[in-house]
Amino acid sequence: MCGIIGIASNKAVSTNIIESLKRLEYRGYDSAGLATLHNNQILEKKCTGRVEKLEKILFKNPALGSVGIGHVRWATHGVPNEVNAHPHSSEIVSVVHNGIIENSDQLKKDLESNGIKFKSQTDTEVITLLLTEEIKNESPIKSVQKTLKKLKGSFALGIIFKSFDNLIVGARRGSPLAVGYAKDENYLGSDSYALKSMTNKISYLDDGDVCVLTKNSVEFYNLEEKKINKKVHTLSDDKNLAEKGDYKNFMSKEIFEQPITVKNGINEYVDKIKNDINLYNFPIDPKSMEKIVLIACGTAYHSCLVAKYWFEEMSNIEVEIDVASEFRYRKIKFNKKNLYIFVSQSGETADTAAALQLCKDNNVKTCSVVNVVESSIARNSDWVLPLHAGPEVGVASTKAFLGQMLILYILCLKISFNRNEVNKDEYIQKINNLIKLPKAIDDILKKEDQIQLVAKDIYESKGSMFLGRGTSFPIALEGALKLKELSYLHAEGYPAGEMKHGPLALIEDGLPVIVIAPKDKYFEKTFSNTQEVIARGGKVLLITDKHEMVINENIRFKIDVPFIEESLSPFILTIPLQLLAYHVALLKNCDIDKPRNLAKSVTVE
């Protein structure tokens, strides 16, 4: 949510700011803007809508200057309009901000009581006006440090000052912020991805840090206002993975990359010669673990729900799952013999990061399953298990979801084997079955034409229902979430056994009901629930393994997926649901890569 870029250079920066803002579009936003310093003036350009619109404004009326900041905004305080868009500038200061200032109302009242007037509805303008007062008597760094002491909440800031046309000040509390380095240029960004087109040398600010950038230098100060040094990380080169190529959009590319994603993950963690899983340096000896606590939000939470079934099936470890936004506010009974696992695609999810910090404060062992190894969650964890999925640009997660399930499955299998709860023969057999998974995913992707027909049949419906049992229940939840995210159609996922406890009242003539029913121990009961739907006029899409039992003239559509070991079926069953959501959204002319109101990296609570 929201994105920041800052560039201090020896040449004009507005073009590079625009290009960097385009790389931040995946985070989700509703307005964009930039500010540069030129001839002792702050030149500010803002608009609602896409960065492309801002680029056209600059083409007609350029913003000159070799120092500048830019922003894509996801509205929190104030409606999406040009006035509320960032940057927020006074005569002498301009600010871009990610996060929320929780005491902004009181600060605003205090400023207004002193005769200071506000132009916007945002919390960010409070920062601008506080700085405007402080800079009258202080240096840029001191004015920022004094202002930060008045702020409550989370933020990442980029700040420029009219009278100091060679520097940018950045600050972090809660929201991520990175610094990039190059010859005669230095950069500020809300994540490393925004900076990758310009540099692969990155440092990360920790909570309470402030940085000062010029074209030739970078200085860091900690919470105690002492000058400090920062480690410089070298990022991997994955530029080609972040291009659409011949695909219509990033989501279609990422759906069809999933056989490669899973293959890469297997190659990273599985030794095919020794028939073993390469996981080392467990923060807790698996044999002494008493409980595993899985913590995540959204799609990542669904991967945890699937993993709970795996851990319960293969091991005797107690497993608990928490929505991250609830975890941090509960009265948790922490236990040093528990392993707390945090799952996040971006590694910057605010609620998940806060829950992780709570665990760190209570001195328990943590593990993160993330796609971005340089992220805040990864850097704050005792143990990191990367997805190796490559950049995922589409806001609605696809390949990262499969990557999350894959890592959790591999972790479950290794822990269960180490605890002697899976024997050697079963362990080797499961590894061999896992190696076959990319081919099975590739096979189901070839069913796209069939799924397009289903999409044409349901895209004008007012809503839909997704049903499943066992590991198919969280896949039903994920299928419903994908349809909601991409097509804006109402969709709900339920355990099929809960139909009689309320959801059956929603079934009416023509309601699409997607039933996920592989040939597992739940099949007969799930199929019985399907008959209840058909009897009440629902039109059923049945997604199942190939087998002779599923013949029913009242089922409107049936998608046969490749048969695979039962525990691996969630990977296969997910693909048709992703394709269905994608094609329904395509028919409805929705913005598939950037669904309305949503953000890729949720950096505010």
pLDDT, greater one: 347 or 575: 575
Which amino acid is present at 93?
V
Count CB neighbours of 539 within 10 A.
20
pLDDT of residue 536: 87
CA 576 to chain centroid: 22
pLDDT, greater one: 425 or 391: 425
The first and second tokens of residue 352, run together, are: 């998940």
Mean pLDDT of the region 250-265: 94
Residue 468 · residue 603 · CB < 8 Å: no
pLDDT of residue 195: 86
pLDDT of residue 391: 84
Mean pLDDT of the region 390-409: 93
Q: 3-235 has which fold?
A: Glutamine Phosphoribosylpyrophosphate, subunit 1, domain 1 (3.60.20)
Picking from 389, 398, 446, the residue whose alpha carbon sits closest to that of residue 571 is 398
Share of the chain above pLDDT 70, in %: 96
pLDDT of residue 369: 96
Architecture of the domain delimited by 250-435? 3-Layer(aba) Sandwich (3.40)
Q: Report pLDDT digits (tens) over 262-314.
A: 999 999 899 988 899 999 889 999 999 999 999 999 999 999 999 999 999 99
Picking from 127, 138, 148, 139, the residue whose alpha carbon sits closest to that of residue 77 is 127
Which amino acid is present at 574?
T
Average per-residue pLDDT in the chain? 90
Residue 538 · residue 566 · CB < 8 Å: no
pLDDT, greater one: 377 or 604: 377
Give yes or no: 600 in active site.
yes
- Cα distance from N-terminal residue to C-terminal residue, the chain: 10
Mean pLDDT of the region 441-460: 94
87 prior amide bond cis, ω within 30: yes
In the DSSP assignment, the letter for residue 207 is T
pTM: 0.77
Over 90: is that where the pLDDT of 484 sits?
A: yes
Helical (H) or strand (E) element with 271? strand 270-271
Picking from 372, 365, 375, the residue whose alpha carbon sits closest to that of residue 293 is 365
Of the candidates 45, 365, 430, 600, the residue annotated as catalytic is 600
Over 80: is that where the pLDDT of 241 sits?
A: no
Over 70: is that where the pLDDT of 27 sits?
A: no
**CATH H-level superfamily of 445-591:** Glucose-6-phosphate isomerase like protein; domain 1 (3.40.50.10490)
Comparing 159-163, 373-377, 425-429, the range with the smallest average pLDDT is 373-377
Q: Report pLDDT digits (tens) over 171-190.
A: 998 788 999 999 999 999 98
pLDDT of residue 601: 61
Q: Where are the domains of the chain?
A: 3-235, 250-435, 445-591
Is residue 165 very low, low, confident or very high in pLDDT (cuts 50, 70, 90)? confident
Mean pLDDT of the region 55-60: 92
Over 60: is that where the pLDDT of 238 sits?
A: no
Instruction: Say yes or no: do domains 3-235 and 445-591 share a fold.
Output: no
List CB contacts of 130: < 8 A, sequence separation 6 or more: 107, 111, 147, 150
Residue 74 · residue 92 · CB < 8 Å: no
pLDDT of residue 355: 94
Residue 265, helix vs strand vs coil: helix
Over 70: is that where the pLDDT of 546 sits?
A: no
Give yes or no: 11 in active site.
no
Over 90: is that where the pLDDT of 500 sits?
A: no
Beta bridge partners of 295: 322, 342
The first and second tokens of residue 57, run together, are: 């404004």
Q: How far is CA 9 from CA 13, 14, 65, in A?
A: 7, 11, 9
Is residue 547 very low, low, confident or very high in pLDDT (cuts 50, 70, 90)? low
pLDDT of residue 237: 62
The first and second tokens of residue 568, run together, are: 């691996």
C-alpha torsion angle, residues 433, 438, 442, 444 (rounded to 10): 40
Is residue 409 very low, low, confident or very high in pLDDT (cuts 50, 70, 90)? very high
Mean pLDDT of the region 10-32: 86
pLDDT of residue 339: 97
Count CB neighbours of 438 within 10 A.
20
Over 60: is that where the pLDDT of 497 sits?
A: yes
Q: Report pLDDT digits (tens) over 560-599.
A: 999 899 999 999 999 999 999 999 999 999 999 888 877 6
Q: How far is CA 368 from CA 322, 342, 405, in A?
A: 14, 5, 13
Q: In what order do the strands lie in the sheet with 291-296?
A: 318-323, 291-296, 338-344, 365-370, 383-386
